[in-house]
Structure 1
Amino acid sequence: MKNFRIVFSVVLSLLCLAGGHTTQAQVNPQNLQKHIDYLSTDRMKGRETGQKGSKKAASYIEKYFKKYNLQPKGEKGYRQEFMAQVRRGKATGQQRKSENIIGFLDNKAPYTIVVGAHYDHLGLGDIGGSRDSLGVGKIHNGADDNASGVAGLLELARHYATNSVQESYNMLFIGFGAEELGLVGSKYFTEHPTIPLDSVQWMLNMDMIGRYSPENGLAIIGYGTSSAFPKIFEGLSSSITFNLSKDGNGGSDQTSFYKKNIPVLFFHTGGHDDYHKPTDDADKIDYKAMEAILNLEIQVIDNSMKQPKMDFQWTN
């Protein structure tokens, strides 16, 4: 997640609602742990844009998109290549290749729901963004930021690709590159979309969903970007507390879609002491809460499929 401070314009705290609508979700916590363990191991060297670890992460996402028989929807197979500028201190920027990894679940529908998460992180912390000056030069594994979001992306892809249901909307799953360098991958996609942007129903973004705190709850940002969201959330239940914020902007990839007049929701469990430090490791992830978050997301997605084409609203 790009460094930022979220200011909630309007926040609604929703607790677990007894007797509410539930969905028989198929989230597998073991899959979540497997994905996070792989993506945040020291061997990935912090998944720095343009480096070997980031390339391995891209290939890992592509492998599972193939496994789930998603259609390639990049510009070359599953891949959409772009260039991103990396700065080291005050040094002149260096251009590096990065890629979005894009898979399409074709339900023969006119409209599509986009689900995204970024897979890059800070490497050794010397490209900027590290919050630990003494940790620069150490591997920033980024288990929460954002191996957790990628694990959620892959698990939602598995759920919808294998649930034996032909939904009323298509789904486009995107692993974004170079988010930490300024939302570069999502900006590139929205400027060079591989499906028409006017066919997008809405966009769901996951960035840091692995460190749930009951005191803070789960933040769901973008509730005000369509008049349909209050209907979509009506009667939903969860074992976790979640807070709804109207604003469509924020320091992650949903912002690129919001700026193209597309409704968005951004799921985020908030900052913590390990954010952008070498200590953001897999053993600190709350997998039980992640399972609840993804079950909630499935309810939201399923309810959004009951809506006609959603309108868009500016929130600021």
Structure 2
Amino acid sequence: MLKQTGLVLLLAAFTASSVSGQDYQPSADRIRSHVGYLAAEKLKGRGTNEKGGRKASAWVAKQFKKLGLKPGNNGSYFQDFTFDKNKHKGVPSRNVLGYLDNGAAYTIIIGAHYDHLGTAGLFDGRYPIGQIHNGADDNASGVAGLLEFARYYVKNGEKEPFNFLFISFGGEELGLQGSKYYVANPTIALDKIHFMLNMDMIGRYNEERGIGIGGYGSAEQWPAIFKDVKEEGIKYFTDAAGKGGSDHGSFFVGGVPVMFFHTGGHDDYHKPTDDVEKLKAKEEAAIIRLGLQLIGNAMKYGKLTYVGEKK
């Protein structure tokens, strides 16, 4: 009886460890939970220089630390900066940086901005001031994706041939301020970056449109990297442009190959109605799996060859 009981306990422990050992795979439940926190009313839209925005950045840093990422900026998870925007001078914000050191020569940057419109006070009347813009898709969905990528590369048990720097940018909605600051003040030399993957609004997958992937023309090797990549339930199309209205554009201008994930616009864009209930978390998890395939293929190359804008 004791032997049988011991065997049952051993099998149960093995089963539990096997299940927990797979917790690095993209999870719709975790994505929904992350977006639920970031897009909650108590964060009031994560506005730049608003309490909710500062709380969001601190929360991202906490998640990086829990996952086991090292601080990405000289012992700190934060990269503080200020910027001017129209009549607003010296607006404070910060990027959040988590680093996975694999002892490699080159680094892959994965990014997503954590800020949104907040209560719209810095937008000079473009949006209804005082109303909370929760920004579930824009861009809590991207931050959730960022955390899923980080979890995968920390916990999958493999030492990849590249380092990873995970950056959650501040001030994106006010003119890509965080990514512009990082490119001007990089913690890793830009010529040591393999490529930069940016996610902005990846939570509202439309099966008729599919997911758009930008930056396809920014490196010579992208066509070969994309060849035969498929993910069940997800269709995608590519766009050559490396520039664009999100943080990858700053890196492209800085001479870094880029890739940009975006599930497209919708009626809730930059409105108080961009709420977590409309999130498509299962589809977002599949998009992350698609991204893992592309990153895996890109890691087969020693260094991507940057291609700038054609004159």
TM over 0.5: yes
Equivalent position to 2:213, from 198, 205, 220: 220
Q: 1 CA distance for matches of 2:167 and 2:124?
A: 23
| Structure with greater contact order relative to length (CA < 8 Å, sep ≥ 6) | 1
Q: Which amino acid aligns with 1:200?
A: I
**Alignment deviations for residues 5-54 of structure 1 (CA, whole Å, 9 cap, x no partner):** xxxxxxxxxxxxxxxxxxx9711111101100000001001111011101
Q: Which residue of 1 aligns with 2:169?
A: 176
Q: Which residue of 1 aligns with 2:303?
A: 309
Give every structure 1 segment of 4 or more consecutive aligned residues whose post-TM-superposition deviation is greater than 4 Å. none
Aligned pairs, number: 287
Displacement of 1:128: 2.2
Equivalent position to 2:96, from 69, 93, 101: 101
Q: 2 CA distance for matches of 1:79 and 1:136?
A: 28
Q: 1 CA distance for matches of 2:124 and 2:256?
A: 28
Q: Which residue of 2 aligns with 1:74?
A: 73
Q: 2 CA distance for matches of 1:190 and 1:78?
A: 17
Q: Which residue of 2 aligns with 1:295?
A: 289
Q: Which residue of 2 aligns with 1:259?
A: 253
Judge conservation of contact 2:24–2:156 (CA < 8 Å) in 1: no
SS at match of 1:123: coil
Q: Percent identity?
A: 48
Matches within 5 A, 1:114-193: 114-128=109-123, 135-193=128-186
Q: 2 CA distance for matches of 1:74 and 1:130?
A: 35
Identify if the C-alpha distance between structure 1 residues 247 and 51 changes in structure 2 by more than 3 Å, giving closer, same or farther: same
Equivalent position to 2:237, from 239, 243, 248: 243
**Alignment deviations for residues 58-82 of structure 1 (CA, whole Å, 9 cap, x no partner):** 0111011111111111255111000
Root mean square deviation, CA, Å: 1.6
Judge conservation of contact 2:28–2:281 (CA < 8 Å) in 1: yes
Q: Which residue of 2 aligns with 1:41?
A: 40
Q: Which has the higher helix share?
A: 2
Q: Which amino acid aligns with 2:169?
A: F
Judge conservation of contact 1:74–1:80 (CA < 8 Å) in 2: yes
Judge conservation of contact 1:119–1:146 (CA < 8 Å) in 2: yes
Displacement of 1:96: 2.2
Q: 2 CA distance for matches of 1:124 and 1:76?
A: 32
Judge conservation of contact 1:29–1:287 (CA < 8 Å) in 2: yes
Q: 2 CA distance for matches of 1:130 and 1:37?
A: 27
Q: 1 CA distance for matches of 2:85 and 2:184?
A: 20
SS at match of 1:198: helix
TM-score of the two chains, using structure 2 as the length reference: 0.89
Which runs of 5 or more residues in structure 2 are unaligned? 1-22
Q: 1 CA distance for matches of 2:104 and 2:121?
A: 45
Q: Which amino acid aligns with 2:135?
A: G
Equivalent position to 2:274, from 261, 275, 280: 280
**Alignment deviations for residues 266-294 of structure 1 (CA, whole Å, 9 cap, x no partner):** 10001000000000000001111101110
Q: 2 CA distance for matches of 1:243 and 1:260?
A: 25
Q: Which amino acid aligns with 1:146?
A: N
Q: 1 CA distance for matches of 2:301 and 2:269?
A: 37
Judge conservation of contact 1:232–1:304 (CA < 8 Å) in 2: yes
Q: Which residue of 1 aligns with 2:190?
A: 197
Judge conservation of contact 1:74–1:100 (CA < 8 Å) in 2: no
